[in-house]
């Protein structure tokens, strides 16, 4: 496998279900991200992990719970979602830069298209 | 004011045309700038980084104007395969390790 992979690619779940999204990066990066992309809206950053530590949580509801066991794997645990949570969930990775420097580009996985019924 | 602002388009141009997109950003401390392209129902893919001196990659030219806080992308001799949404991306929070994505400019190249 190369680049950033995500599973599953498509997911349909009811509001009472619990499911998890998985992301794996094969680029040797040390930062990983979860984004949400709803129809006709720009990408919204949800979570940032640098060296397995969560450094950003952009006011994401607690029904979304991230987990980063190591710098290559990232999970997004989902429970009691709402229909408005239906979207494309994208994982990305990048290399961390020293403080005060700019940021390197991010590479995206193919995304999980989530439908909440 | 939005952190990253783009003209949503759509831009419909004939094959072979030259087309230019502009993007403005709000944080003068931003240091990193990129253009990504996103095809329908696919993930964003890095097109090119934007450097202070401007840079070119084949038919694509990116420019940065720090004084006016805008970035541009020029596509020459456009191909049908250039049809996509082009995303302007900036790290808008100074040194924070985050990127903010514009809402994208949609381009359709017509035969």
Distance in angstroms (rounded) separating the CA atoms of residues A116 and A45: 20
Task: With a cut of 50, say whether residue B86 has pLDDT above it.
Answer: yes
Q: Do A80 and A15 touch, CB atoms closer than 8 A?
A: yes
Identify the band that residue B9 occupies on the pLDDT scale cut at 50, 70 and 90.
confident
* Predicted local distance difference test score (pLDDT) of residue A101: 64
* Predicted local distance difference test score (pLDDT) of residue A95: 87
Distance in angstroms (rounded) separating the CA atoms of residues B46 and B55: 15
* Predicted local distance difference test score (pLDDT) of residue B96: 52
Q: Is the peptide bond before B92 cis (omega within 30 degrees of 0)?
A: no
Higher pLDDT, A22 or B1: A22
Give the best residue of A106, A107, A110, A113 to mutate against chain B (max B CB count within 10 A): A106
* Predicted local distance difference test score (pLDDT) of residue A57: 74
Distance in angstroms (rounded) separating the CA atoms of residues B25 and A86: 29
Pairing of strands A112-116, A10-13: parallel
Identify the band that residue B98 occupies on the pLDDT scale cut at 50, 70 and 90.
confident
Q: Do A10 and A19 touch, CB atoms closer than 8 A?
A: no
Q: Is the CB of B13 inside 8 Å of chain A's CB atoms? A: no
- What value does the mean pLDDT of chain A take? 90
> Tens of pLDDT along B24-80?
999 888 888 999 999 998 999 999 999 888 899 999 999 999 999 999 999 999 999
Q: Exposed, middle or buried: residue A92 (CB in 10 Å: 0-12, 13-18, 19+)?
A: buried
Identify the band that residue B97 occupies on the pLDDT scale cut at 50, 70 and 90.
low
Choose the weakest-confidence range: A40-44, A65-69, B6-10, B89-93: B89-93
Task: With a cut of 50, say whether residue B95 has pLDDT above it.
Answer: no
Distance in angstroms (rounded) separating the CA atoms of residues B50 and A70: 31
Higher pLDDT, A83 or A57: A83
> Tens of pLDDT along A82-105?
999 999 999 999 987 776 666 788
Q: Is the CB of B91 inside 8 Å of chain A's CB atoms? A: yes
Show residues of chain A in contact with B46, CB under 8 Å: 105-107
Tokens standing for residue A32: 């990983």
Q: With CB atoms and an 8 Å threshold, state whether B43 touches A109.
A: yes
Task: With a cut of 70, say whether residue B89 has pLDDT above it.
Answer: yes
Nearest CB to B104; choose among A42, A90, A106:
A42
Q: Is the CB of A45 inside 8 Å of chain B's CB atoms? A: yes
Q: Is the CB of B34 inside 8 Å of chain A's CB atoms? A: yes
């Amino acid at each position: 496998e190369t680049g950033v992979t995500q599973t599953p690619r498509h997911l349909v779940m009811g509001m009472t279900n619990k499911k998890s999204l998985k992301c794996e990066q094969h680029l040797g990066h040390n930062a990983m991200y979860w984004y949400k992309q709803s129809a006709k809206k720009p990408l919204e950053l949800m979570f940032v992990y640098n060296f397995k530590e969560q450094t950003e949580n952009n006011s994401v509801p607690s029904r979304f719970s991230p987990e980063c066991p190591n710098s290559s794997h990232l999970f997004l645990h989902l429970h009691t979602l709402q229909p408005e949570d239906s979207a494309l969930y994208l994982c990305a990775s990048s290399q961390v830069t020293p403080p005060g420097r700019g940021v390197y580009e991010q590479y995206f996985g193919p995304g999980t298209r989530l439908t909440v019924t | 004011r939005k952190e990253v602002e783009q003209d949503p388009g759509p831009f419909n141009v004939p094959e072979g045309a030259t087309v230019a997109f502009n993007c403005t950003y709000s944080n003068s401390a931003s240091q990193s700038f990129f253009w990504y392209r996103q095809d329908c129902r696919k993930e964003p893919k890095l097109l090119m980084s934007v450097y202070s001196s401007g840079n070119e990659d084949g038919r694509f030219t990116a420019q940065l104007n720090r004084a006016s806080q805008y970035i541009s992308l020029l596509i020459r001799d456009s191909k049908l395969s250039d049809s996509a949404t082009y995303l302007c991306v900036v790290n808008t929070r100074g040194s924070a390790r985050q990127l903010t994505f514009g809402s994208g400019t949609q381009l359709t190249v017509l035969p």
